[in-house]
Structure 1
Amino acid sequence: MKRKNFILSTLLFLFISILGFAVENPNSLTPESVMEALNPDFVEGIKEYKPNLENIDKVFNYIEKNIKQKGRAIFYGKLDQEKKELIVTDENNKIIYIEKLPEKFVNSTPYFEVKQTYSLKNGKTLNYSEINLETFGKRIKIKTETLSKNRINKKDAIEALSLMSDLNKAAQNGYSKIEYSNMETFDENDNLILTVKFKNKKMVIEQEIEGDKVKMITYFDNLNTMNGKMEAYVNDTLVSSMQIKNSLPEGESKIFYPSGKILTVTNVKNGTMDGTMKVFYENGKIRMIGHFKDGKKDGEFIEYEEDGSIVDKALYKNDEMVSQ
């Protein structure tokens, strides 16, 4: 029994760690739920934000005029903490507009500066941005390059800003209208800490964690960022594969040996183990089978030798062993 409990505990730790990483990943949860957990004031501030249509007109007209005259439009944005205002200026530091922002939103972002560059590529809008901000007590820099499927118009700009109060819808709307997007995040020492690439309904997130290169790949269902399939890699070796529904792991999830052979097959419901869990030897033979309900051991657990003989078995109910 000790051997089975050790194996099961180890596998559960491995699975829950991978599941937890998937759930905590910004790609596998809704943008709003991630920010709600990390920075509730930011989310509340965004919900209070009502875009000023006059300011949208001003910046859109500025972009159109400069693209026509210079082939590109550059402008800057800076947060004035004391006045709770966003100040947007042109290349000559001339004010394009000033907009009052919700206090909770401003308080959640101690420092914010952005440079935006718009141009056209084959008639489509190409946008470069460089954002410097302080969040969670640290300064970071975010660089993005995004190519839209079409040339953006005033209606698109208004729609995008109008959706800011609903981060989930904003993400859905954004991905449906771009050909590709590349993002790089740097720490205060200018070290690259995270990359995010999106193209053809596929998003790849890469970062280094304790010396290991971790990569998450999500294949969206018809640009629905809440549903799809997610794969996790460590140092380019596939570690796990799982389906995503409503931004949570759902259905069959797999963990792999470094050789690529299946280690475990687990059923998940709403991000929690629910159903049969199978553990395999690397040669493909069954090593253990057990059952879960709402994340708790519930049913018979059996461990096997490679020759198929039973090593041990036990019956669980609501995570408690009732017989063996």
Structure 2
Amino acid sequence: MPEAVATPARKSWIDKLKAGLRKTGASIATVFTGTQIDDALYEDLEAALLMADTGVKATEHLLQDLKRRVKDSKTTDPAAVKGLLVESLTSLLTPLQKPLLIGRFKPTVIMVAGVNGAGKTTSIGKLTRHLATSNASVLLAAADTFRAAAREQLGVWADRTAVDIISQDGGDPAAVAFDAVSAGKARGRDVVLVDTAGRLPTQLHLMEELKKIKRVVQKTGPCNDNANLSSSTEASSLPPHEVLLVIDGNTGQNALTQVKAFDDALGLTGLIVTKLDGTAKGGVLAAIARERPIPVYFIGVGEKLEDLETFNAREFSQALLS
């Protein structure tokens, strides 16, 4: 498959991604410095992949696929095996590569969840900027009413990205979300982004609060379907149209546990993977691809507004194993 020519901005991003994944990639790359392809190489690779939090299922899949590729290509050079692993990993991750589509529904309502410390509110700010660069008008909903600092933080992002925000002191998170979606419809906004309180999936009462937000948002009624597809039903136009989970790339297998728990509770449509800079656990995306293949819309490798980019399976694989 021919590689797309990267723009200077994208090339700069890929360089950041390589730097961010260096800890993960270095431990895997040392496996291919030997002189022969033998059982020891595969055993070392298995250990390196598991240490990178690729997970047992994804590791087994990658090893089997890699051995097949080595056999089919009659490769004898261990260094060349790394290139085949890039192909194998790209193939595994490709189902996660899917763009976030805005525009069919007006407004497109996006609900964002995540545990405390995953970078959820910051990611919403970055996502707002990303949408604004596509000329989409955004309204923010500060439905994390449990934490005053969260409203303030979201307010800062709203100011920096010059968008409106719906918030209230204390109050019911679901009511804030309902008001924001109603306002988004009335004001003709393209997107309504709903921030929610950070929580652990083991905090069942808080997970129930998330489910309540989703149910109450649906009560605002169908959004305008710009596509006017004959096959569309009223249910498909009910908000939220996207339910995103923000996960910290440094948490490895714990991130996979979060994906499963939040997906079971809310029916996730996409992921944002943050804090991939300096992680030794970058293999977790392979684990997600194998065990709960929910699209990864964006990945992040820094704190700046522009440090959130669309996920590309080949770029990620090459950066990881560069």
Q: TM-score, normalised by structure 1?
A: 0.26
Greater strand fraction, Structure 1 or Structure 2: 1
Q: Which has the larger radius of gyration?
A: 1
Which has the larger share of helix? 2
